Amino acid sequence: MIDLEIPKKLRPIAELASAVAAGYFRPISRKYDRAEHTYPKELDLLQAAFAGLSNTDRLGGAGAAATAGSKDAARAPGEVVNGGNMSTVLGITELAWGDVGLLLTMPGQGLGNAAIAAVANEEQRARFGGKWAAMAITEPEAGSDSAAIRTTARLDGEHWVLNGEKIYVTCGERADLIVVWASIAPDRGRAAIKSFVVERGAPGMQLLRLDKKMGIRASDTAVIAFDDCRIPRANLLGSEEIASATKGFAGVMKTFDNTRPMVAAMAIGVARAALERLRELLAKADLAPRYGGAIHAGAHAEVELVRMEAELEAARLITLKAAWMADNRVPNSLEASMSKAKAARVGNAITLRAVELAGALGYGEDELLEKWARDSKILDIFEGTQQIQMLVVARRLLGKRSSELR
């Protein structure tokens, strides 16, 4: 059964992340928002701080899968575990409170690390462990429908040859590795979609451009082309049988069960930051929310603050549940999508409402409120849009295929 208290063994990671957010992220937040595409060199100092964490406890590398021989795999039936997924969610929440863009560009903490943790075999975990991995899924003509991707992978002896173009690759310029989704047989549909690890400098991989964005400007967002890009056969994520063109897409999609709660945690962190700052500003205007009484008797701003606090707490709890389920090997696809849908929508709504309630002050660059509002929008888009999450939730609840829900 899930315990709503933060486990004692995970408190150090949350406390460390909180200290990093306050001491490193907040002071340079506006600086790198203005200097888009400039790498925040201050983040290099953080690598030593997180170097002692295991691969499954690194903030961007949570994994639900238990590997043979691991402590998690050997635990007694019914034993409750709070592991990599829960620690990741707790840490990310704190870091996003500091700055979402800086969090996304922390060395070694890419979303591709979660894919490796979820799907990779033991040899791949050892070979890619400690490296920074980005994720490349979206294409110019394949956005929300991941199964529609057209990038191909062809086996040529002991190498896979990749061809195609990927857009919106977070940290695509800076990461050591790119986890690329590609089809080994485009005519076979979803089952032929596999994930491949492409190491920086691989022949045939080219960075085409960096996109300018509304938010998360500290994080680079790249367009990458693959032109007969050759990678070792062993860089297909997972076991060799995954190379079958008739099965395996479910394993690739398993990545989202890990990463969607992570994105939800980002939304929770930035929304909490906005609420805390709004509370401070309202207090200066002698507007303090009233708890335990007739809340609607208060001023409109007070009522709104309490309502947003309730929405944020609901999002936080479903996110913790999704992470807890992953750590305890309970299928969590439904809860992962629920957490991402709820938290992303709530996070965006809260940051925008905080700007409105703060008036002219919230709209200016003297306050981070306007930046948080811009940063939060991407959290409702990447790792599956709001509409896609609701489709997944409906499909799971009703037991229907996507085509039957249209």
Q: Please count the other Cβ atoms lying within 10 Å of the Cβ belonging to residue 65.
A: 19
Yes or no: say if 161 and 228 are a contact pair by the CB < 8 Å rule.
yes
- Start-to-end CA distance of the chain, whole Å, equals 36
Asked if residue 164 lies in contact with residue 171, where contact means CB atoms within 8 angstroms, the answer is no
Q: How many CB atoms lie within 10 A of CB 195?
A: 28
Radius of gyration of the chain from Cα atoms?
A: 21
d(CA 277, CA 369): 8
The kind and range of the H/E element at 15 are: helix 11-20
Query: Which of 82, 92, 85 lies closest to 20 in space, CA to CA?
Result: 92
**Rounded Cα–Cα distance for residues 376 and 358 (Å):** 17
SS3 of residue 163 by DSSP:
strand
Residue pair 64/257 in contact by the 8 Å Cβ criterion? yes
383 is a catalytic site residue: yes
Give CA–CA dist 216/262, Å, rounded. 16
Spatial distance between the Cα atoms of 103 and 399, rounded to a whole number of angstroms: 36
DSSP lists the bridge partners of residue 139 as 142
Which of 173, 367, 383, 404 is catalytic? The answer is 383
Query: So which residues are the catalytic ones?
Result: 383
